[in-house]
Amino acid sequence: MDKRDILSLSLAELEEILVSSGEKKFRARQIYEWLHIKKVESFDEMTNISATLLTKLNEEFYINLLNISRKLESTVDNIVKYLYRLSDGNYIETVLMEYNHGMSICISTQVGCKMGCTFCASTIAGFVRNLEPSEMLQQIYSTEKDSGKKISNIVLMGIGEPLDNFDNVIKFLQILSSKEGSNMSLRHVTVSTCGLVPKIDKLSDLRLGLTLSVSLHASNNKTRSEIMPVNRTYNIEELIAACRRYIKKTGRRITFEYAVIDDVNSSNEEAFRLAELLRGLNCHVNLIPVNAIKERNYTSLIKNVHNFQNNLKNKGINATIRRTLGSDINAACGQLRRDEIK
Ligand code: SAH
């Protein structure tokens, strides 16, 4: 029998499994606390569990752990980037960022990505597999342990498309926010998507109270389809309509991400069209100077980003320019993993 990934189980699932094998229900809660509050790395550390049950746990379950393969600390910002090795030998990236309001972590949701955005390093070598809930949780647990810092904000903006790994991401969020576990408020979680329309609707039905961030990056379909192939399936109009439904259903504001790329999506017309598109929508726009990746020669002159911001402002849309962080440590999505597998 294959051992089960115990960290990916909800408390209810763990209770059901233990009770059906003749254990008392409260044992599940004890074990769950060891895993998600004390964050132990082996069953043998669970000192209030009997030797017989420990033997059973060791036989039937495993605790999925990550290994730090590389760790890069930025000398220009308070950023630490981890390259984690998964139990099957794959690599993912996690970034720890210090802001005025606390520690924020950017986690991966897949090994590689299918979405094919031309500016993104995560997708170049294609898709390998989805991450398990345990592997998303462990990025947080392991990073907290290594850094000694308490994480207060979580963004799903690392490698992968979170809504393409929908069930595992939702399970991860449920475990993360469970009262008997880390009890993290989902108000402090941001899920970023390239625009999988049916999944945005599915997410809005769950009313999780998290922040949705939509990677728009162009305001006309021709350009967006060139740089984001997902647009050929769900175009801008369909995407914005889904965003409208999301806002209506959840009462939450959406963040739009727009990486300004010289000569691709930075013109005055693109800015005016964007303002038109977002008019009346409860949203915020983040402009990002595109992070240069080796495989493409995209650039982003800061004066073009400011010009784009001013154009939006003149049309009544406020936008902030996101700082590029960790430029000295390859912090753009997927660059470190890319180097490692090469
Ligand atoms: N797949 C999800 C989340 C991962 S990417 C999504 O598409 O939203 C996280 C964010 O980084 C997205 O907004 C993505 O478009 C952006 N991004 C990826 N590569 C980038 C680069 N080279 N420069 C600037 N932003 C980039």
CATH label of the domain that carries residue 22: 1.10.150.530
Q: Name the domain boundary from 62, 79, 112.
A: 62
Domains of the chain: total: 2
Q: Exposed, middle or buried by CB within 10 Å (0-12, 13-18, 19+), for 59? A: exposed
pTM: 0.95
Q: Name the domain boundary from 39, 62, 85.
A: 62
Asked whether the beta carbons of 250 and 204 are under 8 A apart, the reply is: yes
| Residue 93 CB less than 6 A away from ligand 1 | no
Residue 38's pLDDT band, with cuts at 50, 70 and 90, is very high
Same domain, 314 and 165: yes
215 CA → ligand 1 middle, Å:
7
**Would you say residue 215 has pLDDT above 60?**
yes
Same domain, 56 and 73: no
| Residue 227 CB less than 6 A away from ligand 1 | no
**Would you say residue 117 has pLDDT above 70?**
yes
Output the residue whose Cα is nearest ligand 1's atom 18: 120
Residue 328's pLDDT band, with cuts at 50, 70 and 90, is low
Same domain, 52 and 87: no
The pLDDT > 70 percentage for the chain reads: 95
**Which residues constitute the domain of residue 17?**
4-62
**How high is the pLDDT of residue 293?**
84
**How high is the pLDDT of residue 203?**
98
Segment 271-323, tens digit of pLDDT? 999 999 999 999 999 999 998 888 888 999 999 999 999 999 999 999 999 87
| Residue 214 CB less than 6 A away from ligand 1 | no
Same domain, 255 and 199: yes
What's the rounded Cα separation, in Å, for the pair 159 and 157? 7
Same domain, 19 and 158: no
**Conformational region of residue 88, where left means phi above 0, alpha means psi within -120 to 50, and beta covers everything else:** alpha
In this structure, the chain runs to a length of 342
**How high is the pLDDT of residue 325?**
64
Segment 236-281, tens digit of pLDDT? 999 999 999 999 999 999 999 999 999 999 999 999 999 999 999 9
Output the residue whose Cα is nearest ligand 1's atom 24: 290
Output the residue whose Cα is nearest ligand 1's atom 8: 193
Same domain, 193 and 83: yes
Across the chain, what does the average pLDDT equal?
94
Asked whether the beta carbons of 322 and 287 are under 8 A apart, the reply is: yes
Same domain, 104 and 206: yes
268 CB-near residues (< 8 Å, 6+ apart): 307, 311
CATH label of the domain that carries residue 329: 3.20.20.70
